[in-house]
């Protein structure tokens, strides 16, 4: 599952539209001595400069849509700060902004329902020329229905329900020839519904003062067959009703029998073609029906949304046996290879059983839906406990954070070195580490990169991840490996110690490094280890903090060859071999600080062919 926090740690909403602050930030990135030698920082700096100079995808100007989204968010009045990762100056919208789906470098979907917006809908939305889906329901938006939405000719789904819009339906909306779903219910609307809108496949004009229903021959919601003529005799009605009832009972019986036969047939399927012809069962993995998922999530009610990430929304659900679950609805229904490919990938994930990995309960597929079902984690994510607690609430103590560090390391080690084929997480961060009932770390969202064609997700490049956690070689080449996960783990260790996001623009005001990684390195060079520690921690073991920080910096070295494997990381966390590795790290850092252009690792991490007995113990199913 995506994690319970739709997190992208690129904050900085205070700097939107402030040119002077941007110039200071650009200067800090581009001309700071440390940034010249840090590849990740240099790449981010280049992205900033490219965006600022309006260099983007050949199909469109990404700054145009980014600027439009910032103007849109400003007019929506996000007083609850629900959308904090839209930052025009750092990265284009399609790369990492939440609530957005892109295709071919263009924004095609905005999902901003139930965010407490209280403003208006800005005309800047017309700059999103390829918009297909617009969801703004369950907010407090006001003003007349915007006539300029009529220029969005690609629009197929428009949902403005449960707001405070007033006036009539604009005539310009008649140009929305591709509209398939229109919901403007529960608004203060008046006037007549233009006749062409009754031809939209799905519509809802209820709880308004629009003229429809009994005052017109057209219904106010969806489409229904014409009512029975009142001059039909009562006997005719009874006969027709009885006949229909008998026919429906016959169809239900036939459908039930067909469903049972099909379900038995689909419980077993053939493995990857060419390997063997044996039929493989999913064991404990259950195949849910679409109806079961609908009932569990109250038909995917917005009130049940507990998270949203790059692969879709996560809903809290309750099965018929009262089991609480988390239901991940993949945002793109297209899966390369179709349903059979989805089955194979589910099987790969299902066999990854480890106490520090989120267990897959089951799945559901239809012609247009791909659903994964996981246990519900009541304690939510590590990121929630680090950054989302209300005043007065107690966060994670030091020992819990340390256990999380060890648990995440064991989980990654299992994915990299004990799974066949091995699984690369690609987006390790505090938001994707969940906490079970005993506050033990459980990695979520692993393996999902295999389930969705990356060309069709909201990230239009081959890169998947969160800025600040992405390894420099992955950011520059798009090629991932186990070592890109090691880099993300190192940044996550710093999150555990410091409590802040990987990128925090608020540090600019204090003339500190924006990247948490550079901030920690600077404080360590200045022997200010205690200043790295989260201010919310009342007590902690200074020696253990030093160990975690050193391991984090070993994991986040610029060259992937210099980073340890996860089995080595587990040993380093126990202090085994840490002194020797740290001496080498300091040598390399001194070389960078002295502007040496040629540097290399003097060691390679030892290949340990022996099986870690503790890893075997931790691999036992929950």
Q: Catalytic residue numbers?
A: 427
Query: Taking the mean position of all CA atoms in its chain, how far away is CA 125?
Result: 23
Distance between CA atoms of 474 and 560, rounded to whole angstroms? 10
Cβ density class 192-207: b for 16+ within 10 Å, e for less: ebeeebbebeebbbbb
Cα–Cα distance measured from residue 211 to residue 192, given in angstroms and rounded to the nearest whole number: 5
Q: For the chain, what percentages of helix, strand and coil (3-state, to nearest 5) are there?
A: 40, 15, 45
Q: Read out DSSP for 548-617?
A: HHHHHHHHT-SSGGGSPPHHHHHHHHTTTTHHHHHHHHHHHHHHHHTT-S----S-------S--HHHHH
For residue 276 the two structure tokens come to 């063997």
Residue position matching structure tokens 């089955």: 343
Q: 286: buried, middle or exposed (CB in 10 Å: 19+, 13-18, 0-12)?
A: middle
Beta-carbon contacts of 501 under 8 Å, excluding residues fewer than 6 positions away, are: 7, 9, 11, 387, 468, 495, 516
Beta strands in 193-311 (DSSP E): 202-204, 209-211, 268-270, 279-281, 286-287, 305-309
User: Could you tell me which residues come within 8 angstroms of residue 81 by beta carbon, excluding any fewer than 6 positions away?
Assistant: 13
What is the Cα–Cα distance from 237 to 246, expressed in whole angstroms? 14
Q: Who contacts 136 (Cβ-Cβ below 8 Å, separation ≥6)?
A: 110, 112, 113, 117, 121, 159, 160, 163
- DSSP code of 339? H
CA distances from 496 to 330, 387, 429, 492 (A): 29, 11, 10, 6
The answer to whether residues 553 and 524 touch, using CB atoms and an 8 Å cutoff, is: yes
How many Å apart are CA 195 and CA 211, to the nearest integer?
A: 11
- 146: which 2 tokens? 């915007």
408 contact partners, CB below 8 Å, separation of at least 6: 356, 428, 433, 441, 443, 489, 492
Residue 318, strand partner residues: 324
CA–CA gap between residue 330 and residue 424 (Å, rounded): 19
The two tokens of residue 376 are 């519900």
Report how far residue 365's alpha carbon sits from residue 287's, in angstroms, rounded to the nearest whole number. Answer: 8
Bridge partners, residue 202, by sequence: 181
Tokens of 621: 């199913």
Cα–Cα dist 411/418, whole Å: 10
């Amino acid at each position: 599952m995506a994690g319970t926090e739709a997190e992208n740690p690129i904050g900085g909403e205070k700097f939107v539209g402030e040119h002077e602050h941007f110039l200071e930030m650009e200067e800090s990135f581009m001309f700071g001595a440390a940034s010249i030698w840090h590849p990740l920082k240099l790449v981010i700096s280049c992205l900033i400069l490219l965006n600022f100079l309006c260099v983007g995808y050949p199909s469109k100007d990404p700054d145009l849509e980014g600027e439009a989204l910032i103007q849109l968010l400003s007019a929506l009045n996000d007083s609850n700060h629900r959308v904090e990762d839209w930052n025009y100056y750092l990265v284009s919208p399609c790369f990492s902004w939440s609530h957005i789906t892109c295709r071919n470098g263009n924004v095609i979907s905005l999902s901003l329902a139930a965010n407490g917006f209280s403003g208006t809908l800005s005309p800047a939305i017309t700059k999103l020329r390829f918009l297909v889906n617009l969801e703004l329901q369950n907010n407090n938006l006001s003003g007349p229905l915007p006539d300029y939405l009529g220029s969005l000719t690609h629009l197929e789904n428009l949902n403005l329900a449960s707001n405070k819009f007033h006036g009539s339906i604009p005539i310009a909306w008649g140009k929305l020839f591709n509209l398939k779903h229109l919901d403007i219910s529960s608004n203060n609307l008046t006037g007549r519904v233009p006749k062409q809108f009754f031809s939209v496949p799905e519509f809802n004009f209820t709880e308004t003062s629009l003229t429809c229903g009994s005052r017109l021959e057209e219904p106010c919601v969806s489409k229904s067959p014409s009512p029975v003529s009142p001059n039909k005799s009562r006997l005719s009605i009874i006969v027709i009703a009885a006949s229909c009832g008998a026919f429906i009972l016959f169809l239900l019986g036939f459908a039930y029998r067909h469903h049972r036969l099909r379900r038995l047939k689909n419980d077993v399927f053939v493995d990857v073609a060419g390997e063997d012809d044996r039929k493989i069962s999913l064991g404990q993995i259950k195949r849910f029906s679409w109806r079961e998922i609908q009932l569990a999530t109250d038909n995917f009610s917005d009130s049940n949304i507990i998270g949203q990430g790059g692969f879709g929304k996560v809903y809290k659900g309750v099965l018929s046996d009262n089991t609480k679950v988390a239901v991940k609805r993949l945002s793109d229904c297209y899966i390369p290879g179709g349903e059979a490919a989805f089955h194979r990938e589910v099987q790969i994930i299902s066999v990854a059983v480890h106490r520090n990995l989120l267990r897959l309960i089951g799945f559901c597929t239809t012609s247009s839906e791909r659903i994964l079902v996981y246990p519900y984690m009541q304690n939510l994510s590590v990121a929630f406990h680090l950054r989302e607690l209300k005043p007065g609430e107690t966060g994670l103590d030091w020992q819990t954070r340390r256990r999380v560090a060890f648990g995440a390391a064991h989980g990654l080690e299992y994915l990299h070195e004990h799974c066949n084929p091995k699984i690369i997480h690609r987006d390790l961060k505090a938001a994707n580490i969940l906490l079970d009932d005993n506050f033990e770390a459980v990695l979520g969202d692993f393996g999902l990169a295999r389930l969705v064609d990356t060309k069709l997700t909201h990230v239009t490049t081959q890169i998947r991840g969160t800025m600040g956690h992405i390894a420099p070689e992955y950011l520059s080449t798009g090629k991932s490996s186990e070592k890109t996960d090691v880099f993300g783990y190192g940044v996550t260790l710093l999150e555990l110690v410091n409590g802040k996001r990987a990128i925090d623009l608020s540090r600019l005001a204090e003339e500190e490094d924006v990247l948490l990684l550079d901030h920690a390195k600077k404080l360590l060079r200045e022997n200010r280890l205690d200043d790295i520690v989260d201010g919310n921690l009342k007590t902690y073991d200074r020696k253990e903090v030093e160990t975690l920080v050193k391991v984090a910096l070993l994991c986040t070295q610029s060259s992937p060859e210099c980073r340890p494997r996860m089995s080595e990381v587990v040993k380093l966390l126990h202090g085994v071999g840490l002194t020797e590795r740290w001496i080498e790290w300091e040598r390399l850092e001194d070389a960078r600080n002295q502007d040496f252009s040629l540097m290399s690792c003097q060691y390679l991490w030892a290949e340990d062919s022996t099986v870690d007995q503790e890893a075997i113990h931790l691999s036992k199913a929950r």
